[in-house]
Amino acid sequence: MNETIEYRAELKNLQRELVLLQQHIAAQDNRLLIIFEGRDAAGKGGAIRHFTRHLNPRAMRVRALPKPTETELGQWYFQRYLLGLPNPGEIIFFDRSWYNRAVVEPVMGFCSTEQYEEFMGQVNDIEKMLINDGIQIIKFWFSINRSNQQGRFEARKSDVLKQWKLSTVDALAQEKWDEFTFYKEQMFERTHTIKSPWVIINGNNKEQARLESIRYVLSQCEYDRKGEIGVSLKPAPKIVKHYDLAYLEAKRASDKL
């Protein structure tokens, strides 16, 4: 069996488990929010499509908000995001989230220093309140190295089917790589909590990232008939890490240089 056939078989089995999870969430009126963050071209959108491909659209939604309107700019920052929170029995996928203000906005000059600090001072409390109210939150950061990001940008430029993905931020992503890195690390340090940890997905291999991010969600949820499909629900530690562990490993590696 070649690698592509193995990947597709594994993916289909994980998607079957996702259906079992969704059925349980709908039956129990649970609420699940999965946040997808990461550098541009890290594979967030593709991963979401593979999560949702076989789910019941009546019990899940994907939220990918455009830039705020003039009215929204005058509102409390979190307001337009909170309108998209899961109702009882729903899974919600945020394709980017309120964490735009933690990384993209300060790098691109879309918010002031005061707005940035206000956000960073509020977000942990907001998430704590949501969790205490019964919403399960999973926060993914899809990581990608610089050369892979550049290669995917070039593929977007040459493929008419992918050109809609290009944006102003894309054009500056490589130029501002170090600035994105600084704010990303600040976000991890200040918003990684025990109840709402950052889960880092190595996105350099899209197929592995899709499989392991789905596997991670399944591993974190309790649901009827869990494991019935027979596919492994234990995420690969080389692909999936919590921020604290990933940080320590990166520091140890740098100390050896």
Query: Model's pTM, two decimal places?
Result: 0.92
Residue of 169, 167, 174 whose CA lies nearest to 145: 174
What local confidence, expressed as pLDDT, does residue 1 receive? 41
For residue 156, report the phi and psi dihedrals to the nearest 5 degrees. Answer: -65, -40
| Predicted confidence (pLDDT) per residue in 143-172, tens digit | 999 999 999 888 877 776 565 566 666 678
Query: Using the 8-state DSSP alphabet, how is residue 111 labeled?
Result: S
35-to-22, 32, 60 alpha-carbon distances in Å: 17, 10, 14
Domain limits of the chain? Answer: 3-255
Residue 256 confidence class, pLDDT cut points 50, 70, 90: low
What local confidence, expressed as pLDDT, does residue 158 receive? 73
DSSP-assigned letters across all residues of 184-218: HHHHHHHH--SSS-EEEEE-SSHHHHHHHHHHHHH
Helix ranges, 29-145 (H): 44-52, 70-73, 79-82, 104-108, 113-132
Dist CA 138 CA 210 (whole Å): 15
Q: Report whether pLDDT(253) > 80.
A: no
Dist CA 185 CA 197 (whole Å): 14
What local confidence, expressed as pLDDT, does residue 8 receive? 96
| Predicted confidence (pLDDT) per residue in 63-113, tens digit | 999 999 999 999 999 999 999 999 999 999 999 999 999 999 999 999 999
Residue 173 confidence class, pLDDT cut points 50, 70, 90: confident
The Cβ of residue 121 has, within 10 Å, a number of other Cβ atoms equal to: 10
| Predicted confidence (pLDDT) per residue in 195-230, tens digit | 999 999 999 999 999 999 999 999 999 999 999 999
Q: Is 22 within 8 Å of 93 (Cβ atoms)?
A: no
Residue 257 confidence class, pLDDT cut points 50, 70, 90: very low
Computed over every residue of the chain, the mean pLDDT equals 93
Q: Is 43 within 8 Å of 207 (Cβ atoms)?
A: no
Dist CA 150 CA 138 (whole Å): 28
CATH 3.40.50.300, applies to 3-255: yes
| Predicted confidence (pLDDT) per residue in 6-42, tens digit | 999 999 999 999 999 999 999 999 999 999 999 999 9
